[in-house]
Amino acid sequence: MPSKPKIVLRTLFTRFVFSSGIAATIWRLFWRDRVAVMLYHDPSPQTLDAHLTYLKTVCDIVPFSEVNTPGRGRRRAAITLDDGHARNAELLPVFIKHNVRPTIFICSSIVTHPRTHWWMHPGASQAGVERLKRMSNEERLGELRSTGFRQDAAAAESTASGLSAEQIQAMRPYIDFESHTRFHPILTRCDDAECKEELVGSKREIEQMLGGNCQHFAYPNGDYGPREIAILKAGGYRTARTCDLGWNNHKSDPYRLKAFDIQDDSTVEWFAAQLTGITLYLRYLRQGGGLAGRKPQL
């Protein structure tokens, strides 16, 4: 949880952007009838409930499949969650209560297996998660192996960090499951064969798991380039969501859909502030992402 001074600062910032008219101006100029894609990972049911209650007062909530369709004169938002965290199963009553259909982008070789998302393994924190992200995929996997982690090995059931097959089956009538690779590598750090296997293999695994079509993708850590887009297109994916900041409509590049990376534990006030895009824009700018709101790439 954020510290007390931080919460006070955030509250003051939120009041300023809303009382000054800055938030209203941004929404009028940029949001209009476009779709703001919310990007969560592992929020609590209480937090998500509060966010959705607020969100419904400022826009329509649509499924992710409508992200690149023409607007109908009203602001829109879509809800996405990345990775397929086991605790996402606890969110199902919240989605049913609000009649909201989210999309969960799952790592297809982690969910339904007794496996752990690599950055959640103790060896990854010892080695430094940000450091590991910058290595070539082969080096990263080698270093993780030296700490006792193998991405394709079975771990104890108790350390499984992804949704189980039973949980996914129970959620399926209310939630769309799409691809976030097989094991969540940094794609731009993979060689061609690894990249293709992660993108094409994940689509195949999800289609086998669910018996339907997997057509949408979210880039792990928001890292992508022309090679990733070419493989997605050739592999039959229709869209891909980045972590770049912005709103979407039918004119958006379907393989570069933008999002709002929402902090999972945000108060409603801080959530409202993040919907203006100002906070994420400044963070990306500070980290070297440039003026267009692009997430700095690895």
Give the binding site for Zn ion (CB under 5 A).
82-83, 220
To the nearest whole angstrom, how small is the minimum distance from the Cβ of residue 180 to Zn ion?
Answer: 6
Report residue 177: phi and psi, to 5°: -110, 125
Note the Cα 96 to chain centre separation in Å: 20
> Which of 119/174 has CB closer to Zn ion?
119
To the nearest whole angstrom, how small is the minimum distance from the Cβ of residue 82 to Zn ion?
Answer: 4
To the nearest whole angstrom, how small is the minimum distance from the Cβ of residue 110 to Zn ion?
Answer: 10
> Which of 220/277 has CB closer to Zn ion?
220
> Which of 102/220 has CB closer to Zn ion?
220
> Which of 27/118 has CB closer to Zn ion?
118
End-to-end CA distance of the chain: 27
Tokens representing residue 200 in the block: 């094409």
Dist CA 190 CA 59 (whole Å): 39
The sign of the CA dihedral 15, 19, 22, 26 is positive
To the nearest whole angstrom, how small is the minimum distance from the Cβ of residue 227 to Zn ion?
Answer: 19
To the nearest whole angstrom, how small is the minimum distance from the Cβ of residue 223 to Zn ion?
Answer: 10
To the nearest whole angstrom, how small is the minimum distance from the Cβ of residue 212 to Zn ion?
Answer: 22
Residue labelled with tokens 């534990």: 265
CA-nearest of 6, 7, 24 to 278 is 24
> Which of 83/178 has CB closer to Zn ion?
83
If DSSP codes are grouped into helix, strand and coil, which group holds residue 190?
coil
To the nearest whole angstrom, how small is the minimum distance from the Cβ of residue 6 to Zn ion?
Answer: 25
**Count of C-beta atoms within a 10 Å radius of residue 28:** 11
| Residues facing 76 on adjacent strands | 35, 60
- Complete DSSP assignment for 227-240: HHHHHHHHTT--EE
To the nearest whole angstrom, how small is the minimum distance from the Cβ of residue 172 to Zn ion?
Answer: 21
> Which of 52/186 has CB closer to Zn ion?
186
- Residue 223 in contact with residue 187, Cβ under 8 Å? yes
> Which of 83/176 has CB closer to Zn ion?
83
If DSSP codes are grouped into helix, strand and coil, which group holds residue 38?
strand
Dist CA 261 CA 37 (whole Å): 9
Tokens representing residue 99 in the block: 């009649």
Phi-psi region of 259 (alpha: psi -120 to 50; beta: other; left: phi over 0): beta
> Which of 43/220 has CB closer to Zn ion?
220
